[in-house]
Amino acid sequence: MATMAGPSRLIGAPIKRREDPRLVQGLSHYVDDIKLVNTLHCTFLRSDYAHADIKSIDTEAAENLSGVVKVITGSDIAGKVGSIPCAAEIEGLKVPDHPALAVGRVRFVGEPIAAVVATDPYVARDALDLIEVEYDELPAVVDLDAAIESDSTVIYDEFDDNIAFTMPLDAGDVDAAFAEADHVVSQRFVNQRLIPNSIEPRGVLAEYLPGEGTLTVWSSTQVPHHLKTILSLLLDLPEQLVRVIAPEVGGGFGSKLNVYPEEAVVAYLATQLRKPVKWIEKRSEGFTTTIHGRDQVDYVDMAVKNDGTITALRAKLLANMGAYHQLLTPIIPVLTYLMMPGAYKIPNIKLELIGVFTNKMATDAYRGAGRPEATHIIERMVDLAAQKLGMDAKEIRFKNFPQPDEFPLEMATGVTYDSGNYQMSFNKALDTVDYASLRARQAELRGQGRYMGIGIATYAEICGMGPSVGVAGGGWESSTVRIERTGKVTVLTGVSPHGQGQETSFAQIVADEYGISIDDIVIIHGDTGRQPQGIGTFGSRATAVGGAALIIATQQVKEKMAQIAAHMLEANADDLVFEDGNIFVQGSPDSAVTFADVAATAHVAVNLPPEVEPGLEATHFFEPSNFTYPFGAHISIVEVDPETGEIDLQRYVAVDDCGNIINPLLVDGQVHGGIAQGLGQAMYEGAVYDENGQLLTGSFMDYAIPKATQVPRFETEHTTTPSPVNPLGVKGVGEAGTIASSPCLVNAVVDALSPFGITDIDMPMTPNRVWQAIQDAQ
């Protein structure tokens, strides 16, 4: 069989998303749109205190409210619903018990204490007001630096302190490098806590059929397969009888890469009450009890030579875990740790990563997950070093990039970058903005008392989450390809898209391989009943790992089709091509069999070659050999009004290299959304708790996410450096925009304000903060 497909028509083509018509017409089904007869509605009573002992809970009045079916508290389900799990495996990690409903003590505002089930959602809500909880307030641990001091309140009686884990690294000879440095730059960075806020809040619907013993759970999740396994363990049910369906999911950004108490409690209640039970998260609940992102305080030193060579990096990273570990909480800052060198060859690195418990909501994966923090640190430090050396921000970067022929490149942190050409993407970005004339323009404007800034971020990140050795819960992915009797193709994938567009891009991959129309292909995902094996969508992995599984399964079926077609054509399978719905011997398109005919032959099974089984189906599990390391260069141009502190973002250019591109529209969509979210962190967003652990930014009135009018038109460009670790040569692009944009914007504003002697500014760069920095500098 000719392994080459026909002329490549769809991979690389800007095909419009096939998902969009149903989304824009309101024809999709999210969890709350799924209506089952006799569904009961669940609500959760949540702690108003950040840290308190529960003296008593009186649920009697709530139970007596007409329409209330059941009220449960932590003690009712102790021993019946297991501890909410954390998948992290880190040496010495402290893993506290995480009951689905608090028992005895609450440790963050919003922690669920009791669940009410009623026949009507409004009754279930009203009943919450009738539950009386008596608390004994305890001092709240809220400040990251203070939490690790010896005089801090300790959140867990069973532990000596609030340190969840420490992870050291000492690569090369850091002390010698600092001793021999011409300059040392030092900075403390606060990477503020963010609230993900996907457009669809979380939601769970569970139905238990006692006769069959089957539990079906619809959840707005990114990881239905993990949820299936974990629910079966938490509720002690046979895994084969648990099915999890992620219907249409309205975004996640990592916040739904988790298993939450509500999922366990709702599923448990369905098994007990033997009726469907539904819980839909309110936006105000989402603010307090869906995982948060970022929240690090980082102390960093960099050693540089006079010629701009970076010789060493030393850092203490404090990462806020929150009160409990969610699924991956401690792993997120490990990605910061691994990616500390960014796009630069730094031979000597000494790190101390400290995970810290506080009386706040758990942090976990939020778009970028650990890499925005690393990129912020390294990109700011490089600019600080350049500023100190009087060197251009461009020159110091070129000075420290690895050369393209050095890949695969082992870094001091232990990871091996797969492929890269950082010079190429950076040069493209510099050419796009005409960097030299920009600097001239900046000098001219400064002469007029105007503060224009040019921000650069040349990033390298880690994604394509796999191989399994580096990903808690597994880093492989599965795909099944089945050709139906009518010649239509069904793809079952273990990834679980929730906005990424794989129903389009995966169909492009298959259509090209088979030479058939994209309309003949259906991509099924997010249902463990249809595709029992999978890992899910997160960490920019779906195409790099799931797409790789798909192309291999597609080719396996193609090989069998070629054997059958060769039998029908009395030809040699190696000579066949698949094109325009036909299969024929290369050069003889007139004597072809149709793709559909071959499919029918395979299913009817009366004219099969010897040794060939009926049917056309293959499943492949793909295990990548390494992570992928996308990279790129972003440049932003701002002007700051020193009178008001307002930032005018005038231009944003992104050159991303995510390896081969399946669909440029999807890639640009990811880059746009990613930049908008990074811009949100840089300029607007920040979760604020007061000194008692009360969340002050509990609604969109106080938590500002960027609006359409606050983002500029993005200019996106690409370079293509294929990854060698998967057969598609793709790397992943879901998070690149978020990873590069916040340091890019901070670098621009600091560059604009450098005439004032300003060297750093904390995010979010609100007008007040910018204005204050200017006042303080004067």
Residues that bind another protein (CB under 8 A): 48-50, 109, 128-129, 284, 287-288, 690, 692, 694-699, 701-702
| Nearer CB in complex with another protein: 533/697 | 697
Rounded Cα gap, residues 680 and 296, in angstroms = 17
Rounded Cα gap, residues 230 and 228, in angstroms = 6
Q: Which residues contact 33 (CB under 8 A, 6 or more apart)?
A: 247, 248
Smallest gap, in angstroms, from Cβ of residue 309 to another protein?
Answer: 49
Smallest gap, in angstroms, from Cβ of residue 703 to another protein?
Answer: 10
Report which secondary-structure segment, H or E, holds 117: strand 112-118
| Nearer CB in complex with another protein: 73/232 | 73
Smallest gap, in angstroms, from Cβ of residue 233 to another protein?
Answer: 33
Rounded Cα gap, residues 484 and 520, in angstroms = 10
Which candidate, 121, 128, 115, 113, places its Cα nearest to that of 67? Answer: 121
Smallest gap, in angstroms, from Cβ of residue 133 to another protein?
Answer: 9
| Nearer CB in complex with another protein: 47/601 | 47
| Nearer CB in complex with another protein: 187/284 | 284
Smallest gap, in angstroms, from Cβ of residue 129 to another protein?
Answer: 4
Question: What interhelical angle do 435-447 and 422-433 show, nearest 10?
Answer: 50
| Nearer CB in complex with another protein: 462/695 | 695
Residue pointed to by tokens 């980082």 = 298
Q: Is 559 helix (H, G, I), strand (E, B) or coil?
A: helix
| Nearer CB in complex with another protein: 126/173 | 126
Q: Which residues contact 150 (CB under 8 A, 6 or more apart)?
A: 161
Smallest gap, in angstroms, from Cβ of residue 431 to another protein?
Answer: 46
| Nearer CB in complex with another protein: 195/338 | 195
Rounded Cα gap, residues 270 and 262, in angstroms = 12
CB 85 within 8 A of CB 327: yes
Q: What's the longest Cα–Cα distance across the chain?
A: 88
Smallest gap, in angstroms, from Cβ of residue 673 to another protein?
Answer: 27
Smallest gap, in angstroms, from Cβ of residue 126 to another protein?
Answer: 10
Smallest gap, in angstroms, from Cβ of residue 215 to another protein?
Answer: 33
Q: What are the phi and psi torsion angles at 468 (to 5°)? A: -60, -30
| Nearer CB in complex with another protein: 19/285 | 285
Three-point CA angle 493, 498, 502, nearest 5°:
45
Smallest gap, in angstroms, from Cβ of residue 109 to another protein?
Answer: 7
Per-residue CA distances from 375 to 201, 335, 425, 453 (Å): 29, 11, 17, 19
Tokens of 774: 């200017």
Smallest gap, in angstroms, from Cβ of residue 693 to another protein?
Answer: 9
Residue type, 34: I
Which candidate, 703, 225, 251, 747, places its Cα nearest to that of 454? Answer: 747
Neighbours of 348 (CB within 10 A): 20
Which candidate, 566, 616, 574, 561, places its Cα nearest to that of 591? Answer: 566
For residues 98, 102, 103 and 109, what is the CA-based torsion angle, rounded to 10 degrees?
110
| Nearer CB in complex with another protein: 287/629 | 287
| Nearer CB in complex with another protein: 287/622 | 287
| Nearer CB in complex with another protein: 96/698 | 698
Which candidate, 375, 416, 99, places its Cα nearest to that of 262? Answer: 99
| Nearer CB in complex with another protein: 37/701 | 701
Smallest gap, in angstroms, from Cβ of residue 366 to another protein?
Answer: 20
